[in-house]
Every structure is written in structure tokens, then in C-alpha cells.
Amino acid sequence: MKRRSHLAALAGIAAAVLGLVQPAQVAAQARELNIGFISTESSSNLKAAWQPVIEDLQKAVGMKVNTFFAPDYAGVIEAMRFNKVQIAWMGNKSAMEAVDRASGEVFARVVNVDGTQGYWSLMIVHKDSPHKTLDDVLRNRQNLTLGFGDPNSTSGSLVPGFYAFAANKVDPTRDFKRAVRSNHETNILAVAGRQIDVATVASDGVERMKIKMPEKAAELREVWRSPLIASDPLVWRRDLDADTKARVRAFFEGYGRDAREKGHLAKLTLSGFVASDNLQLTPIRQLELARERGKVEADTALAADDRSRKLKDIDARLAELARPTTP
């Protein structure tokens, strides 16, 4: 009996110790933030460009900030979904996926170095290419290799997929001689090196290339430009605690005021950040629904009743997005 009492006492002490240690461990973990970055270019280049800003963020919020890079956009979305990252720099399409599937919420957006808050999807060819317009590219597409963007890329896939291809009844994944999916940097370098004939990329990716490798940027020619796209959002998990959110928001909205901070941002072709919210994703949602509507209309295998039902549902969602929001 004494032995059992002794063991019970030890178990009670151990439980009490664990009760003290575990909250301390949780508190320590809560003092760290993980921030994810979509793979617009190589992770080494992104890390080098963002690291000075991340170090300043770390000091401002008073906790360790770890960076997370994935080989594709979906990796960052999934990392946020499973709370492996709490903050992420994303494009609008991937932000939409994060909001819908990963408890994400837009809280800020970047401001370009010239003060604008948007960018464009571009279609580029080598400067010596005989193709000088979008019509030239589409007319000769069966003989051309296309560098297309990540499926979750706004400017590499969604926007050109709608405005350049769907509007002209072209399937970019089937109608070209070959289509390969890569990040913006890889596609830019592939066009410059004549490894592919044409690519869809982000205008800010080309601007960064002018800084990093001007000789490569000089090999490019633009043949098409999309309507303006809202600048890239910053997204955090909705369940991030209020105090951390306040610190993070204050940092980004106030960053870029002195010469040192401006220098860090210039390497990212940015001048700062401004507040934003999920409403900036509305045009992207409309594009996605319009793309979906086009696919339904073109699906000859669908029964008439099914097609009508699906189109009615899409139109209802488009109408809902078009309604003005109350302040």
C-alpha cells in the first residue's frame, strides 16, 4: 500500500510539474510567428530580398519571426490552413484560396515603389521574336511553347487565362505546342534564354529582373498587358490573437518612412504597405466565376437542365458580388 501511495504521490507531482511546464511551452511557442511567401521566384532570392524587412518586423513585434518558402503557391495556402504559417505575402488568387480554405484574412497590401497600388499581367517574348502582338501569338500558338504560371497565380494564370485566352476561345494548356508551368522568374529567364517562346508573367517580376539582371530584362519584349490588378495582399489567420495583429498591422502600415527602411523596400520594388481587407479580392472572384461560367457553357456533355442550373447559380453569385457593400 505504501508503495502505491508513493507512486501516486510521484504521479501527482509529475502532473503538477507538467501543468506548470506545458503552459510555459505554449507561451514560448506563441512568441513566434511564421510568415510564408509564394514562390514568384527562387526561395534564395526571395529570402535575401525580404530578410531585412523580416528582421525589422521581429524587433517591432517582440517575437521571433520564421520564414517559410514552398515550391508552389498551394504549399503556402496549405501551411496557413494547418496553422504552420500565421501570416503570408500572396497574390490575389492565392489570397482568395487562403480566405476560403485556410482561415485567412487580408489586412494589408503592398504599395509599389512609384506609389501605385497595382500591377499587370504581361505576355512576353524574346526581343527578336517575330511575334509582336497577342494576335500574332495566338495565330501561331500551335508552333509555340508557352510558359504559364502556377495555377494559383493571379497574373501568371488566372488573369491571362481569362483576358488573353478565354476571351479568344483558346485553351492555353492544350492549344500551344507545349505549355509548362513555372514561377515568374523562371519564365522570364526562359524567354530571355530562348528556351520557351512566350510566357505570362507579373509586371513587378519584370521590374525586379531589371534590378537583379538587367541584361536578361533587356532580352524581353512585351506583346500584351492586362487590365490593372490590385497589388499583392498580406494575409493573416483570422484566429491570430488581437495583440499580435495590432503589432503586425502597426509595423507594416508604418514601415518605409526613413532612408534605411526605404532602401530595404526598394529591393522589393516597393515603397510601403497600406491597410486592406477581403473586398480587394472581389474582382478576382468575379474573374474566377466568369471563367467557370465559360467552361460550363462550353461543356457539351452537360445536360441542358444541369447547364441551366449551374449557370443560374454562377449568375446569382456574380450578382451578389456586384451588390454595393454597406460601410
State how far the Cα of 114 lies from the Cα of 29, in Å rounded to an integer. 39
Closest CA to 161 of 39, 290, 313: 290
Three-class DSSP category at 138: helix
pLDDT of residue 182: 93
The one-character DSSP state at 248 is H
Three-class DSSP category at 49: helix
What pTM does this model have?
A: 0.78
pLDDT of residue 326: 55
pLDDT of residue 325: 65
Sequence-distant (6+) residues with CB within 8 A of 16 are none
8 A C-beta contact, residue 55 and residue 61: no
Helices and strands in the chain: count of H runs, count of E runs: 13, 13
Radius of gyration of the chain (CA): 24
State how far the Cα of 246 lies from the Cα of 235, in Å rounded to an integer. 14
pLDDT of residue 167: 85
State how far the Cα of 160 lies from the Cα of 312, in Å rounded to an integer. 25
State how far the Cα of 211 lies from the Cα of 225, in Å rounded to an integer. 21
pLDDT of residue 20: 42
Q: What is the C-alpha end-to-end distance of the chain, expressed in Å?
A: 71
Give the Å distances, CA to CA, from 248 to 63, 87, 243.
11, 9, 9
Closest CA to 285 of 80, 37, 156, 100: 100
State how far the Cα of 56 lies from the Cα of 292, in Å rounded to an integer. 42
User: Across the 327 residues of the chain, what is the mean pLDDT of every consecutive 10-residue run?
Assistant: 44 42 42 92 89 96 95 94 97 96 97 93 97 97 96 92 89 94 95 98 94 96 95 97 97 96 95 96 90 83 89 88 69
